Amino acid sequence: MTVATCSACAAVPHDKIEQTITAEHSLDLSVPTVHCASCIGKIERGLKTLDGVQGARVNLSLKRLHVQYDGRQTIEDAVLDKLANLGFEAHLLDGKVLTDKVDTTARGLLIRLGIAGFAAMNVMLLSVSVWAGADGVTRDFLHWISAAIALPTVAYTAQPFFKNAWLALRVRGLNMDVPISLAILMASGLSLYETALGGEHAYFDAALSLTFFLLAGRYLDHQTRAKARSAAVELTALEMPRAQKVTRGQVETVAIETLNIGDRVLVRRGARVPVDGVVAKGASELDMSLLTGETMPAGITIGDAVYSGTLNLGPSFEVNVMQIGQGTKLAEIAALVATAEATKTKYTTLADKAAQIYAPLVHLLALAAFLFWQFYTGDTRLAVGIATAVLIITCPCALGLAVPAVMTAASGRLYRAGILIRDGAALERLVDVDTVVFDKTGTLTTGEMTVVEAPKGEVLNLAASLAAHSDHPLSDAVVKLAADKNLPAVQNVVEHAGKGIEARTGSSRIRLGRAEWIGCKPIEGYVQTWLQIGETTPVAFLFEDTIKASSKAAITQLQARGLKVVMLSGDTQSATDRLAEKLGIERAVGGVLPDEKLTLVQSYGNHVLMVGDGLNDTAALAAAHVSMSPASAIDAARAASDFVLIKDDLTLIDACISLSKSAKSRMLENFAIAAGYNVIAVPIALVGLATPLLAALAMSASSICVSLNALRLTKVRGR
């Protein structure tokens, strides 16, 4: 299924990427800014013009690009440069990591579900004749045919329940699969015994319908839990698979695992740093947002430390390798995420709580029924039959569907609203949230700079003319601000990495760059660049990150619910405080690193909703009680999140909380329906009146009631 953010995207599914050549001659890249059919066409057509590129396919739902090429060494740089020229951010991924795991569990459950359904229908048809009054040899013949269909079917299709029950029993525990397995086995065994003795009743149809309904619930539950990959796997894929190794002045592309400490690698403009190391040659600027979330590039020069995954915005430079593999900063974050993910799995869902109560109760009822009838009549065959009927009629079909049915209905409604749910249990956890923590850059803001104060007229046009020669994000903002498209000409343009850009116009030297380089005192609390014309007094351009249109409304909605709202950012405290004041957020913390963000989220209690979009947010997203990310987030952040906001609208957070409350109500109602069914059905079974027909009808009726109640969720409105 393709998730499209505009109507045009629906016409370009690209669900599968064909790989017609070896993995050594293909590249996988993340393109987080692709969002529609026009983007896809632009990328694919643009890359096919490159020499050596044999094919390019964009997967819109995963925001990934797969490129096939003829094996030439320079193709990576050519592809990255082309994408940058087309206006798309991109970084290499290790495609093998992303495709190593296939969801064989879902495939197996679906196959078993189909077989169980087909067999149940056929045995039901045979049972109709028995229920209609077939007797003697005819009845025995129909029972034997039913046995021939049911026994091998049960042996194969009920394996998931048998395996889980055995795992619980091995550690002297009970789960919902223990009474399920016992009911299926006893129903099948007793039916075979009755058939061999020419008995009147057999439970083959009940055993199969029971297996079918429970497999349906298990498959739905698995699908809601398995839509997303592990965030730790996504982080591993972000690690650069190749590097440009420099040996005696010669550059060659090598696999990252072949590098050693002390080797030297070249990092070209627009490429990501493949290792942790120290700059050995050159100077440039790095986009550190992947690690810190900061909006501004950081200048680097010889001797400065650089980290894997950061993006080179300036000239090429060389790095001495200090850490590779598990020793890199990126690997440390991946380890934090893996640990955080493990803690979230300790949450006990409503279904698990019900199982802890229900499983021993069912066994005690069945045992009590057996002991009573054995003592009362002395007929072991009758006592076993009634105990089996108790197990069958109390077997948790409705309980097995209670949560998955609601999750399926909720997932559909959320998707239509613009929210993708990645973990069904998160819908239950969302009800308990008391604090919402927002990342700033890319979540509450767009990540693009807006000029808030600047000179006008000829001075602005001259600054824009100089800025047009730079790829720096602040330069882009200055150029956009200038209304005059006929900018004055400048000559002898020179860009100083990490400092600024200078040129000449007429007899005057002009410079645009950092305050320290220009020779003036920075203005506290603002992102800024300064312009100096000749020896005149420098003038400042002040910038702020652009606030998303829905941010203010979303925060107001959440505060109206009585939720505490907190903002965390890698930016300076002053910039963070200024944005918090505009949005009405009382608590904001700036200068936060990834591990500090994780610690802060954990310090806010056990019921935190974290909303973030960057690599620096992934550990906090994984550790939070519930987590969300926008569709524009990087792969790792989306994978670490329980919900993804497909539409770029933060007010959907409030809608999601509303639905979570309705969903929990439907779950509790479903448990009540299941309990009510048992209150009626158990006495009937205990007194020996539960025929196979009654058992089958009762199970089907309870399951249908639960499913219909879950469908009410699609029409819920309001808060």
**How far is it, in rounded angstroms, from Cα 399 to Cα 393?**
12
**Rounded Cα gap, residues 328 and 309, in angstroms:** 10
Quote the CA–CA distance of 355 and 182 in Å, as a whole number.
15
Residues 6+ apart with CB under 8 A from 196: none
CA distance 258 to 245: 10
DSSP tag of 541: E
Longest dimension (CA), the chain: 116
Query: For the stretch 236-248, what's the b/e string if a residue is b when 16 or more beta carbons lie within 10 angstroms of its beta carbon?
Result: bbbbbbbbbbbee
Which residue, 152, 132, 133, 134, is CA-closest to 142? 134
Q: DSSP characters for 265-306? A: EEE-TTPBP-SEEEEEE--EEEE-HHHH--SS-EEE-TT-EE
CA distances from 338 to 130, 175, 359 (A): 56, 27, 32
Rg (CA), the chain: 32
All residues at 6 or more sequence positions from 74 whose CB lies less than 8 Å from its CB, including other chains: 253
b/e for 358-373, b at 16 or more Cβ within 10 A? bbeebbebbeebbeeb
Q: Which runs of E-coded beta strand occur in 569-642?
A: 587-589, 608-611, 626-630
Record the tokens describing residue 299, joined without a space: 């200048």
Exposure string for 274-303, b = 16+ CB within 10 A, e = fewer = bbbbebeebbbbbbbbbbbbbbbbbbbeee
Cα separations in angstroms, 546 against 443, 446, 481, 583, 623: 11, 6, 14, 12, 28
Strand runs labelled E in 15-150: 26-30, 53-59, 64-69, 91-93
Q: Which helix (H) or strand (E) holds 464?
A: helix 457-467
Q: Helical H runs in 536-617?
A: 551-560, 573-583, 594-603
Angle, in degrees to the nearest 10, between helices 397-417 and 204-225: 30
DSSP code for 423? -
Q: Is the Cβ–Cβ distance between 272 and 240 less than 8 Å?
A: yes
Report the DSSP pairing between strands 508-513 and 527-533: antiparallel
Give the whole-angstrom CA distance, residue 422 versus residue 254.
36
Three-class SS of residue 539?
Answer: strand
Q: Which residues are catalytic?
A: 439
Q: Which helix (H) or strand (E) holds 15?
A: none
DSSP-assigned states of every residue in 156-176: HHTHHHHHHHHHHHHTT---T
Q: Give the separation between CA 87 and CA 43, rounded to whole angstroms.
A: 9
Question: Using DSSP, how many helices (H) and how many strands (E) does the chain show?
Answer: 25, 26
Q: Are 280 and 302 in contact (CB under 8 A)?
A: yes
| Count of residues in the chain | 719
Give the residues across from 66 on adjacent strands. Answer: 28, 57
Q: How far apart are CA 152 and CA 144, in angstroms?
A: 13
Q: State the residue for tokens 């072949």.
A: 258
